Amino acid sequence: MQSISRRDFGRLALATAVAGAGASAGVFPALAQVANPIRIGMSMSLSGGLAGNGRAALAAQQIWAADVNAKGGLLGRPVQLVFYDDQTNGGQVPGIYTKLLDVDKVDLVTSPYATAMIAPAMPVVMQHQMCFVTILGAGVNTTFKYDRHFNMNVVGDNMKDTFAKGFLDIADTLATKPRSIAILAVDNDFAQRAAESARFLARQRNIRVVYDRSYPPSTVDFTPTMRAVQAARPDLIYIASYPPDSNGILRAASELRISAQMFGGGMVGPQLAAFQAQLGPILNNLVNWDIFSIEPTMNYPGVAEFLTKYREVAAREQTDVLGNYIPPYAYAQMQVVEQSVARVGRIDQAALAADMHRSEFNTIVGPVKFAESGEWAQDRNLYCQFQGITDGNLERYKAPGAKVILYPPSLKSGTLRTPYGTPA
């Protein structure tokens, strides 16, 4: 399979935009003259708000395709990725999947990152009765109940009962039992579900919710919000935020010298290299939801080799330089497809779905088994703590110790340090 350079990709996308080609400003990465390839189609956010994770995911999937082709392909055929940029616009996604399935006639489809882009693809995929392996969706199939949907996400199928459990289980180990919690969440599906879990589990444990608010994604300044959180004097602060906001929240917390026994929650952003480089020691003692950490307890076969390859590509493609968040899961997403196709021995959507329901998959993020709902049969929400961070040097994140795993107990690699921030 051939690949295009970032510059070529830019020229193509810009030319498409300038020409006003409309719906899908996308590209064929490779129309290589290969014999009867297995073509895997997907929409991916290569521009717009989710592009950071979208491009990182695509880079990982391209590494997978190169690895498979280097081994002789799948069922003796080379694999070829056909992808289009959805511009982080859910409205583009149904058109892209329609084109992939009706015009490009791809053999298999996988999903873009994440919930907001997966959900619009579902009706088209279901109409064509395709097997659909998605990445980091949150409860998408709760509504669709499609039996050929499989989601690579540690969250599992009971987010309310499990998502914040790790945070509160860790809080239970504090010397002084926490009595109050503040909850702040951005107005989007994932964060609201995370906040719902924290609220539900806190009440179960008789922890008083002293602040419980949402904020719109367009918020620019988090100083007044964090000051209001501070005024409520919570023992625990649980934030469910997205990348642009997580930075503002943590900087405001630092400027206001907010301190709590535990601070963190379901913040998306601190997992990424750009955040780690900028925020440096502000991350110290943050206890945050995660999906992967380079700790000995998660050193699954193949993951170290993958990260080495990814980091070579990432520098060139200007995407997340460490790849400690989405990329291993994007690679594992394709491993699920690969292993299932290899087992079934043909491209048969019904047989593939049956195999995925039945089988366990060995991936670079560990063994994966799907439940009837298509979510992971066993949730594996990680809660990690940044420790010993003195500056924005990213080298420390390439080795164990900077982001230790506190939960689940089976993967635990460090012990909790408290409090977060400077005590008032």
Of the candidate residues 126, 256, 351, 371, the single one contacting another protein (CB under 8 A): 256
Strands 287-290, 262-267: pairing is: parallel
Of the candidate residues 3, 4, 49, 210, the single one contacting another protein (CB under 8 A): 49
- For another protein, which stretch binds (CB under 8 A), given 14-22, 174-182, 326-334, 400-408? 14-22
Rounded to 5 degrees, what are φ and ψ at 219?
-65, 135
Instruction: Quote the crossing angle between the two packed helices 115-127 and 189-204, to the nearest 10°.
Output: 110
Of the candidate residues 5, 127, 278, 378, the single one contacting another protein (CB under 8 A): 278
Of the candidate residues 72, 224, 367, 388, the single one contacting another protein (CB under 8 A): 224
With contact defined as beta carbons under 8 Å apart, do 407 and 171 qualify?
A: no
Does 216 interact with another protein (rule: CB under 8 A)?
Answer: yes
* Ramachandran bin of 366, using left for φ above 0, alpha for ψ from -120 to 50, beta for the remaining angles: left
CB of 48 to another protein, least distance (A): 6
- For another protein, which stretch binds (CB under 8 A), given 47-55, 74-82, 195-203, 354-362? 47-55
Does 91 interact with another protein (rule: CB under 8 A)?
Answer: no
Nearer to another protein, 277 or 411 (CB): 277
- For another protein, which stretch binds (CB under 8 A), given 31-39, 259-267, 300-308, 316-324? 316-324
Rounded to 5 degrees, what are φ and ψ at 364?
-75, -10
- For another protein, which stretch binds (CB under 8 A), given 173-181, 271-279, 296-304, 340-348? 271-279
Does 3 interact with another protein (rule: CB under 8 A)?
Answer: no
- Residue 410, judged by CB atoms within 10 A of its CB (0-12, 13-18, 19+), counts as exposed
Q: Give SS3 for 290.
A: strand
Q: Measured on CA atoms in the order 358, 362, 367, 370, is the torsion positive or negative?
A: negative
All residues at 6 or more sequence positions from 170 whose CB lies less than 8 Å from its CB, including other chains: 262, 287, 383, 406, 407, 416
CB of 224 to another protein, least distance (A): 4
Does 57 interact with another protein (rule: CB under 8 A)?
Answer: no
Does 177 interact with another protein (rule: CB under 8 A)?
Answer: no
- For another protein, which stretch binds (CB under 8 A), given 102-110, 241-249, 296-304, 337-345? 241-249
Q: Taking CB under 8 A as the rule, which mask of x and - marks residues 353-372 in contact with another protein?
A: --------------------
- Residue 390's Cβ-side half-sphere holds a number of Cα atoms within 13 Å equal to 2
What is the total count of residues that contact another protein (CB under 8 A)? 54
With contact defined as beta carbons under 8 Å apart, do 40 and 30 qualify?
A: no
Q: How far apart are CA 222 and CA 244, in angstroms?
A: 11
Tokens 């460490």 belong to 322
Q: Which two tokens stand for residue 129?
A: 């009765």
Does 48 interact with another protein (rule: CB under 8 A)?
Answer: yes
Does 319 interact with another protein (rule: CB under 8 A)?
Answer: yes
Q: Which two tokens stand for residue 255?
A: 């400027």
Q: Give SS3 for 395.
A: helix
Nearer to another protein, 200 or 215 (CB): 215
Report the interface residues with another protein, using CB under 8 A: 6-7, 9-10, 13-14, 17-18, 20, 25, 46-49, 51-52, 54-55, 88, 187, 213-225, 227-228, 231, 243-244, 247-248, 251, 254-256, 272-275, 277-278, 317-320
